[in-house]
Amino acid sequence: MTRLSSIDIYLYPDDYDNDLRNHFLFRSCYLGNLLTRHVRRLKFGSQGFTAVLVQGRKQPEKVPRISSDRNLIAHVDFDLSRYRDLEPGEHHEFFISMMTAGLEKCARHYDIPLAELLQAIDQFRAGGYKNEWIHQTKLLRGLGLRATLACRLDSEHFTLNLVLERKGTIAFDETILDTLPDELIFHYRFKEVVVDGTSIVVMDRLGKRLYALDANSLQPAPVQSR
């Protein structure tokens, strides 16, 4: 049995030019990323497809189809004039509307975890449209620190923060990576926190250093009053 492991939204290549499609792709990535991470936790067995792709088109086809590379593709209307007139903060519901229409169209013909995905969207909306997650938390015992790699993805940026705590107090919290909002750009750039002597090092997925910090440069732990 195949598992549904990816959900995304984009514009049909033959209907729109590259600049518009890339602008849409960057701006909407945070929503597909949110639902992809959610659906992977569900470990949902699917009917021969591994991804749901919601595709904005000028003339959408009525029935979703499974492509040769096992993508379940649902076409939805894309209101270009509305998209161009979006004010700051209005794009969230624009993308959610397209995504919801595509998911509901898929659910009329195939078994997908629609209720769970719509619930995730509702929680996203209630939380102020924030896509934030913890990539890793690790106790650095020899240094007396807890390290966290905290991610945030919105319509403009992906940011990665290194957070270091000592005895419940934040000793360091800085953005160590800031990229365009596209997983192809940021995914390989970080993997884990390791310790090298007194250095706290964030490694990427290619085995290279993204960032290093000497633990001795941090503020000492606060003195506990008796």
**pLDDT given for residue 222 in this prediction:** 54
From 39-43, 138-142, 218-222, the region with the lowest mean pLDDT: 218-222
Is 79 inside a domain boundary? yes
State mean pLDDT over 46-61: 96
Domain limit, last residue, from 109, 126, 143: 126
- pLDDT one-digit tens code per residue, 97-106: 999 999 999 9
- pLDDT one-digit tens code per residue, 148-193: 999 999 999 999 999 999 988 999 999 999 999 999 999 999 999 9
Is 223 inside a domain boundary? no
- pLDDT one-digit tens code per residue, 104-152: 999 999 999 999 999 999 999 999 999 999 999 999 998 999 999 999 9
Is 113 inside a domain boundary? yes
SS3 191: coil
How many domains does the structure of the chain reveal?
A: 2
Only one residue has tokens 């514009």, namely 11
Is 120 in contact with 35 (CB distance < 8 Å)? yes
The count of other CB atoms within 10 Å of the CB of residue 224 is 6
| pLDDT > 50? residue 223 | no
Domain limit, last residue, from 126, 144, 166: 126
Is 213 in contact with 197 (CB distance < 8 Å)? no
The domain in which residue 190 lies consists of 131-217
